[in-house]
């Protein structure tokens, strides 16, 4: 209410003050021969003597013989041959009027809202302070079962001021936990408590502040991370929309539904709980009288909306460009060559053709093709959040309105047969038209409108280009799938595919969903769209196939394992979309500034106009010669040019687009090279990286270790319970692919009954190791399991009775009553300490340690196998595992150190000697190696580096053990097909398992930061450096006309978007050839 009162006071006080000031203001002359202007009529008179000439004056009460002008006039100034007498009282009143205007504008638009307890009850809010406080306490403690995440399509946002308004509106709603609005994507993501507020109510709140809003999705926030979701689009009759929606909402596994248009609904469901065809079958059975079919949309709604916006802008620009060009010729080009279009004679009135032509051309541009700006400006003012549309609408209306006012004045005075500044009667009659300078100001309206439309058109097209990567990924989704059943084979919509379906694919087709190959023949698949690797990959029986990839050779049948958002393509699209929706710290600050920027510019324009009008009126500044006489209209025009220039040069869009466009382009570029960036902050932090901590296994090395040799204790193996018949009566191994083996310790007596051969004991060793390691998914465990399969010839191993994974040590499994333990030397020491035992001297421990030291010097890792039998430790042997260094590791680490200025560290759970040998090979300093580290110790090392590092610390790993360190680092990077936990804890995922991508990510982050800073520099130049020039601070040496200011406005956002698009030419780090 106080805002309305302030607006009424400003609206009524300003005219009253101006009337009073005009009534008491007069002008006098002191010297003979000077010209005197009447402030009331604007007429100039020549004085023949030094007597005081008074005009429009009344006697003063204190002295009847003294005019009121004489009484209040205190200062006389002479400029050329003009004498201006300035009334301090009238000037003070005008300044007061200006202050009232500025204060009113601030209170209406910029002042913060009153405390929440003064507000009336909203649709979903509490009414008093007690309820508000209670609600604030509820936020952040939302029950997980009622915690929803909704995506809202927001149409009508034109600049960062708009997105800030929507975001502020949503965050202020009771029950909302978080809200993020993306200007480029025109989407709001809101996490809220469904017990307090609904998605429909949030859309209503957005609509109440002047934007169009519709729900895109509404799902349980917790389940989005676990089970995934899928969507099913169904075409139904208009009268069945509500009944069908009510029915599906009660089906188990359905998350939500929403209507799309008049004949379609979108159902979101959990594919692991209910199948799409099953759901469709239930609907057909429930509504037999209604035709229900699956009809997925052909185009992405978001892209389609942007395309429609581009088409509308293109039409408006085409229709306004020709009139604007003609106006430019009439008002600027022809006068420069002293060409006059002539006049139209109408009785005694001569009408300038140029004025009529500009009026006819400017009117449709102003009110038809530029109507979108005026409509959006009205909405922005209605929600008390002015944006760029307000600046454009206000500037063009001032230009157009001034010319119309001058013309109306001319017509009135011509009809009244008065000679004044707007009409001149000569022997032939009256000449009616705008002077050259006024006509030029009039012509700015259509030209500015065309320029701004052109800028918006270029900006909208560039927005679509920034979404190129996301569009490309969405287009890779197959629309159909070939379903194979026992009865028939048919083509169905990919939305109807269910888990465990058998699908046939052909050469040249796209894999519809994720699955596994179940036919024997190999096929070749290009996974470039997901990994960036152009070389096709061979897929054999049992191999994983990813949806969206292209079959380049062969055909076969696959079994669907994942559909919907949890497919590889779906997760990548989700990651990119979420990253593009996030904001950097710089963007958050820019949005805060933009929220008050437009209001400040409007107040600044009013102030600039008032100052220049006073300077011109008081004679402190002489008008340009081309403006002719010093009439009030001329002075107003002179001042208005500065005010309009201030309005036009300001462009909050440039600030709002500085970060989102750069983030959208860079995330797309990163996805192309197999790097998935989860947030804009990850790019921002990536540019600050000064230290990189690398895990060894799977990061510096290939992550595909192999057993190079073994050292076995035959005596210990022979003493194991059941060793005599563990081979099932087989005296020799059935496979001869075991690695080279050596023996240590005492040799068993083979003369004893039931003694077994060396080959049989080795076979039994591999069987025990394989069974123990088969329960783990660690790279080393997989390596030992595969080696055991090759050595024994067994396809599977017996399941252990008990299995336990000890972090940083190894695994233990109980098999046939024997507790088999495989792991590091520390694991062996833990077992000895647990049982309070020491190995006997003949156990061969010294021989084992010597062998292990030799292998470690060759960069092998040594795993020790021992058993606990009857509470005694029995040393079985050791395995040397070699993991080759990645081919790109040496060059990548060198590039990070010398080109990018990054310190490289190694942090591994492997033994110190092996870790240092690997570090020496790849070029990492010995004092930058932290070996034998448990997961918590890795996280502690990262935290210690964060304290001393001069920038951000990045950790790169691939396994479950690395999850704490990934979470502790400023940037966690999961390389390759890491465990899901590692991917969840990471900020960046390197899909291709290539360390070179790490260098490309750091380089791209730095280039992105530079692009963002460059964008903000452009915005700063145009908005903050251009404002003083537009305001006339450097007048008369440097002047920025309104037309040039309008060009700057359109150019600013265009330059910002173009600057971001330059990131598309980013060159990733490439290994040197040879």
Distances (CA, A) of 361 to 159, 186, 202, 365, 935: 29, 34, 43, 7, 73
Beta bridge partners of 947: none
User: Nearest-CA neighbor of 952 among 688, 693, 692?
Assistant: 688
Query: Cα 277 from chain centroid?
Result: 35
User: Nearest-CA neighbor of 1053 among 723, 657, 517?
Assistant: 657
What pLDDT, on the 0 to 100 scale, is given for residue 894? Answer: 92
Residue 87, pLDDT > 50, answer no
What pLDDT, on the 0 to 100 scale, is given for residue 1000? Answer: 92
Tens-digit pLDDT profile for residues 639-648 = 888 888 888 7
Q: For 974-987, what is the mean pLDDT?
A: 61
Q: At 1031, is the secondary structure helix, strand, or coil?
A: coil
Most confident of 398-407, 554-563, 1025-1034: 554-563
Q: For 507-522, what is the mean pLDDT?
A: 89
As a whole-number percent, the residues of the chain with pLDDT over 90 amount to 5
Residue 405 binned pLDDT confidence (cut-offs 50, 70, 90): confident
User: Nearest-CA neighbor of 146 among 189, 194, 191?
Assistant: 194
Tens-digit pLDDT profile for residues 608-633 = 888 888 888 887 777 776 665 567 77
Residue 749, pLDDT > 90, answer no
**Least confident piece of the model among 23-37, 315-329, 736-750:** 23-37
In three-state form (DSSP H/G/I as H, E/B as E, the rest C), the secondary structure along 617-641 is HHCCCCCCHHHCCCCHHHHHHHHHH
Residue 746 binned pLDDT confidence (cut-offs 50, 70, 90): low
Most confident of 53-62, 480-489, 699-708: 480-489
Residue 97, pLDDT > 60, answer no
Secondary structure (DSSP) of 308-321: HHHHHHHHHHHHHH
Residue 745 to residue 740: CA distance in whole angstroms? 17
What pLDDT, on the 0 to 100 scale, is given for residue 41? Answer: 43
Residue 479, pLDDT > 50, answer yes
Tens-digit pLDDT profile for residues 754-811 = 567 788 888 888 988 988 888 887 778 888 888 888 888 888 888 888 888 887 788 9
State the alpha helices, DSSP H only, in 276-419.
276-286, 301-328, 334-336, 353-364, 371-382, 388-415
Sign of CA dihedral 1012, 1018, 1022, 1024: positive
Residue 143, pLDDT > 50, answer no
Residue 844, pLDDT > 60, answer yes
Distances (CA, A) of 777 to 563, 783, 909, 963: 24, 10, 16, 15
> Which residue has better confidence, 714 or 24?
714
User: Nearest-CA neighbor of 410 among 362, 356, 334?
Assistant: 356
> Which residue has better confidence, 18 or 682?
682
Tens-digit pLDDT profile for residues 180-192 = 887 777 888 888 8
Beta bridge partners of 503: 483, 558
Residue 344 to residue 432: CA distance in whole angstroms? 10
Residue 63, pLDDT > 70, answer no
Residue 73 binned pLDDT confidence (cut-offs 50, 70, 90): very low
Residue 454 to residue 448: CA distance in whole angstroms? 10
Residue 103 to residue 101: CA distance in whole angstroms? 5
Distances (CA, A) of 86 to 70, 75, 606, 634, 857: 11, 6, 22, 19, 96
Residue 976 to residue 676: CA distance in whole angstroms? 11
Distances (CA, A) of 839 to 812, 820, 844, 845: 19, 17, 9, 8
> Which residue has better confidence, 448 or 789?
789
Distances (CA, A) of 305 to 153, 155, 300, 460, 928: 10, 9, 9, 11, 53
Residue 791 to residue 764: CA distance in whole angstroms? 10
Q: For 482-504, what is the mean pLDDT?
A: 90
What pLDDT, on the 0 to 100 scale, is given for residue 345? Answer: 64
Residue 564, pLDDT > 60, answer yes
Greatest distance between any 2 Cα atoms in the chain:
148
What is the DSSP-derived secondary structure letter of residue 511?
Answer: P
Q: What rounded mean pLDDT belongs to the chain?
A: 75
Residues for the chain: how many in total? 1074
In three-state form (DSSP H/G/I as H, E/B as E, the rest C), the secondary structure along 566-622 is HCHHHHHHHHHHHHHHCCCHHHHHHHHHHHHHHHHHHHHHHHHHHHHHHHHHHCCCC
Residue 1004, pLDDT > 90, answer yes
Residue 757 to residue 169: CA distance in whole angstroms? 80
Residue 442, pLDDT > 80, answer no
Residue 129, pLDDT > 50, answer no
Residue 8, pLDDT > 70, answer no
Asked whether the bond before 152 is cis by omega within 30 degrees of 0, the reply is no
Burial class (CB in 10 A: 0-12, 13-18, 19+), 886: buried
What pLDDT, on the 0 to 100 scale, is given for residue 752? Answer: 46
105 sits in which H/E element: helix 88-105
Q: Is 817 left (phi over 0), alpha (psi -120 to 50) or beta?
A: left
478 contacts: CB under 8 Å, gap ≥ 6:
494, 509, 510, 511, 512, 547, 548
What is the DSSP-derived secondary structure letter of residue 299?
Answer: S
Tens-digit pLDDT profile for residues 422-434 = 444 444 455 666 6
Residue 503, pLDDT > 90, answer yes
> Which residue has better confidence, 548 or 410?
548
> Which residue has better confidence, 410 or 942?
942
Count of CB atoms within 10 A of residue 948's CB? 8
Residue 451, pLDDT > 50, answer yes
Count of CB atoms within 10 A of residue 889's CB? 23
Give the Cα-Cα-Cα angle 453, 458, 461 (nearest 5 degrees): 125
Q: Is 460 left (phi over 0), alpha (psi -120 to 50) or beta?
A: alpha
Residue 472 to residue 349: CA distance in whole angstroms? 65
Burial class (CB in 10 A: 0-12, 13-18, 19+), 1021: middle
Residue 750, pLDDT > 70, answer no
CA R_g for the chain: 40
Distances (CA, A) of 431 to 122, 336, 347, 411, 802: 60, 22, 11, 10, 106
What pLDDT, on the 0 to 100 scale, is given for residue 623? Answer: 73
What pLDDT, on the 0 to 100 scale, is given for residue 1003? Answer: 92
Pairing mode of beta strands 741-743, 706-712 = parallel
What pLDDT, on the 0 to 100 scale, is given for residue 620? Answer: 79
Residue 415 binned pLDDT confidence (cut-offs 50, 70, 90): low
Query: Cα 751 from chain centroid?
Result: 76
> Which residue has better confidence, 17 or 865?
865
Residue 852 binned pLDDT confidence (cut-offs 50, 70, 90): confident
Distances (CA, A) of 162 to 172, 255, 285: 16, 31, 47
Residue 842 binned pLDDT confidence (cut-offs 50, 70, 90): low
What pLDDT, on the 0 to 100 scale, is given for residue 1007? Answer: 92
Tens-digit pLDDT profile for residues 934-955 = 888 888 888 888 888 888 899 9
What pLDDT, on the 0 to 100 scale, is given for residue 424? Answer: 45
Residue 49, pLDDT > 60, answer no
What pLDDT, on the 0 to 100 scale, is given for residue 7? Answer: 46
Distances (CA, A) of 836 to 283, 575, 864, 930: 68, 51, 19, 30
User: Nearest-CA neighbor of 976 among 565, 675, 632?
Assistant: 675
Q: For 399-421, what is the mean pLDDT?
A: 66
Q: For 500-511, what is the mean pLDDT?
A: 90
Q: For 381-403, what is the mean pLDDT?
A: 77
State the alpha helices, DSSP H only, in 488-584.
528-531, 568-581
Sign of CA dihedral 350, 355, 361, 364: negative
259 sits in which H/E element: strand 254-260
Q: For 393-403, what is the mean pLDDT?
A: 79
E strands within 859-934? 861-869, 872-882, 903-907, 929-930
What pLDDT, on the 0 to 100 scale, is given for residue 595? Answer: 64
> Which residue has better confidence, 115 or 534?
534
Q: For 359-385, what is the mean pLDDT?
A: 83
Helix axis angle for 301-328 and 436-466, nearest 10°, is 160
As a whole-number percent, the residues of the chain with pLDDT over 70 amount to 73
User: Nearest-CA neighbor of 680 among 1011, 443, 411, 362?
Assistant: 1011
Tens-digit pLDDT profile for residues 650-662 = 777 777 777 778 8
Instruction: Count the helix, strand and coil residues of the chain and give each as a percent rounded to the nearest 5.
Output: 50, 20, 30
């Amino acid at each position: 209410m106080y805002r309305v009162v302030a607006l009424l006071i400003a609206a009524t006080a300003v005219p009253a003050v101006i009337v009073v000031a005009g009534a008491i203001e007069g002008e006098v002359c002191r010297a003979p021969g000077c010209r005197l202007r009447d402030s009331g009529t604007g007429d100039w008179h020549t004085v023949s003597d030094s007597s005081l000439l008074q005009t429009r004056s009344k006697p003063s009460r204190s002295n009847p013989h003294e005019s009121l002008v004489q009484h209040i006039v205190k200062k006389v100034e002479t400029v050329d041959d003009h004498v201006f007498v300035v009334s301090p009282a009238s000037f003070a009143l005008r300044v007061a009027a200006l202050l009232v205007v500025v204060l009113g504008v601030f209170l209406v638009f910029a002042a913060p809202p009153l405390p929440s307890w003064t507000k009336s009850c909203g649709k979903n809010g509490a009414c008093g302070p007690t309820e508000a406080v209670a609600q604030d306490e509820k936020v952040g403690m939302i029950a997980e079962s009622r915690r929803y995440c909704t995506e809202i399509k927001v149409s009508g946002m034109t600049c960062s001021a708009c997105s800030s308004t929507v975001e502020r509106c949503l965050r202020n709603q009771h029950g909302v936990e978080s809200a993020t609005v993306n200007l480029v994507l025109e989407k709001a993501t809101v996490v809220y408590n469904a017990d307090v507020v609904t998605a429909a109510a949030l859309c209503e709140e957005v609509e109440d502040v002047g934007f169009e809003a519709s729900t895109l999705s509404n799902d349980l926030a917790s389940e989005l991370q676990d089970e995934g979701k899928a969507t099913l689009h169904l075409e139904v009759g208009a009268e069945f929309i509500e009944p069908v929606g009510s029915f599906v909402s009660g089906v188990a596994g359905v998350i939500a539904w929403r209507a799309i248009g008049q004949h379609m609904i979108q159902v979101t469901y959990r594919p692991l709980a209910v199948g799409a065809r099953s759901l469709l079958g239930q609907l057909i059975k429930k509504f037999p009288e209604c035709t229900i079919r699956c009809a997925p949309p052909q185009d992405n709604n978001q892209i389609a909306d942007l395309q429609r916006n581009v088409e509308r802008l293109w039409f408006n620009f085409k229709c306004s460009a020709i009139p604007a060009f003609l106006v430019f010729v009439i008002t600027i080009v022809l006068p420069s060559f002293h060409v006059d279009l002539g006049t139209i004679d109408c009785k005694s009135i001569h009408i300038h053709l140029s004025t009529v032509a500009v009026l006819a051309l400017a009117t449709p541009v102003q009110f038809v093709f530029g109507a979108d700006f005026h409509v959006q400006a009205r909405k922005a003012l209605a929600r008390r959040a002015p944006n760029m549309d307000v600046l454009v609408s206000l500037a063009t209306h001032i230009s157009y309105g001034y010319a119309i006012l001058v013309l109306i004045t001319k017509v009135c005075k011509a009809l009244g047969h008065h000679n004044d500044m707007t009409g001149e009667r000569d022997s032939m009659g009256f000449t009616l038209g705008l002077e050259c300078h006024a006509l030029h100001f009039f012509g700015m309206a259509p030209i500015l409108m065309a320029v701004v439309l052109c800028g918006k058109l270029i900006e909208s097209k560039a927005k679509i280009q920034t979404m190129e990567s996301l569009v490309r990924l969405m287009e890779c989704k197959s629309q159909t799938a070939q379903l194979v059943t026992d009865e028939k084979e048919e083509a169905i919509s990919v939305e109807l595919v269910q888990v465990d379906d058998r699908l046939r694919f052909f050469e040249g087709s796209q894999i519809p969903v994720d699955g596994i190959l179940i036919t024997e023949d190999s096929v070749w698949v290009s996974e470039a769209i997901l990994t960036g690797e152009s070389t096709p990959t061979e897929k054999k029986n049992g191999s994983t196939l990813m949806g969206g990839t292209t079959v380049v050779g062969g055909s076969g049948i696959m079994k669907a394992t994942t559909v919907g958002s949890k497919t590889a393509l779906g997760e990548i699209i989700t990651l990119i979309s979420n990253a593009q929706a996030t904001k950097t710290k710089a963007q958050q600050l820019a949005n805060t500034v933009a929220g008050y920027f437009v209001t400040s510019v409007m107040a600044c324009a009013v102030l600039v106009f008032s100052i220049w009008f006073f300077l011109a009126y008081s004679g402190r500044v002489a008008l340009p010669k081309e403006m002719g006489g010093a009439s009030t209209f001329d002075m107003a025009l002179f001042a208005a040019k500065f005010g309009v220039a201030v309005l036009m040069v300001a462009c909050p869009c440039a600030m709002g687009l500085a970060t989102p466009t750069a983030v959208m382009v860079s995330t797309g570029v990163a996805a192309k090279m197999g790097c998935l960036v989860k947030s804009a902050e990850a790019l921002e932090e990536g540019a600050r990286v000064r230290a990189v901590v690398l895990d060894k296994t799977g990061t510096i090395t290939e992550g595909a270790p192999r057993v190079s040799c073994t050292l076995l204790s035959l005596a210990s193996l022979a003493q194991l319970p059941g060793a005599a018949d563990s081979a099932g009566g087989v005296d020799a191994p059935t496979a001869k692919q075991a690695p080279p083996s050596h023996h240590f310790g005492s040799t068993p007596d083979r003369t004893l009954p039931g003694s077994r051969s060396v080959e049989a004991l080795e076979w039994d060793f591999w069987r025990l190791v394989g069974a123990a390691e088969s329960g783990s998914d660690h790279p080393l465990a997989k390596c030992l399991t595969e080696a055991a399969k090759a050595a024994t010839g067994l396809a599977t191993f017996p399941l252990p009775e008990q299995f336990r994974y000890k972090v940083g040590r190894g695994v233990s499994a109980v098999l046939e009553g024997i507790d088999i333990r495989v792991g590091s030397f520390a694991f062996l020491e833990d077992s000895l300490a647990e049982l309070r035992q020491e190995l006997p001297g003949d156990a061969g421990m010294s021989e084992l340690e010597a062998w292990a030291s030799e292998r470690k010097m060759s960069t092998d890792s040594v795993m020790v196998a021992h058993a606990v039998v009857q509470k005694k430790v029995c040393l079985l042997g050791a395995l040397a595992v070699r993991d080759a260094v990645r081919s790109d590791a040496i060059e990548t680490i060198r590039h990070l150190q010398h080109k990018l200025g990054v310190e490289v560290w190694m942090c591994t759970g492997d033994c110190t000697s092996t870790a240092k040998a690997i570090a020496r090979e790849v070029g990492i300093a010995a004092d930058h190696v932290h070996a034998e580290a448990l997961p918590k110790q890795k996280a502690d090392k990262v935290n210690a580096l964060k304290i001393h590092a001069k920038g951000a610390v990045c950790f790169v790993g691939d396994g479950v053990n690395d999850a704490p360190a990934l979470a502790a680092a400023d940037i966690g990077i999961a390389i390759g097909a890491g465990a899901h936990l590692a991917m969840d804890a990471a900020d960046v995922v390197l899909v291709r398992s290539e360390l070179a991508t790490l260098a490309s990510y750091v380089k791209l982050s730095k280039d992105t930061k530079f692009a963002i800073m460059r964008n903000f520099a452009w915005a700063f130049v145009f908005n903050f450096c251009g404002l003083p020039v537009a305001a006339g601070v450097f007048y008369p040496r440097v002047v920025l006309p309104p037309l040039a200011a309008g060009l700057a406005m359109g150019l600013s956002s265009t330059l910002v978007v173009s600057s971001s698009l330059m990131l598309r030419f980013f060159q990733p780090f490439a290994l040197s050839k040879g």
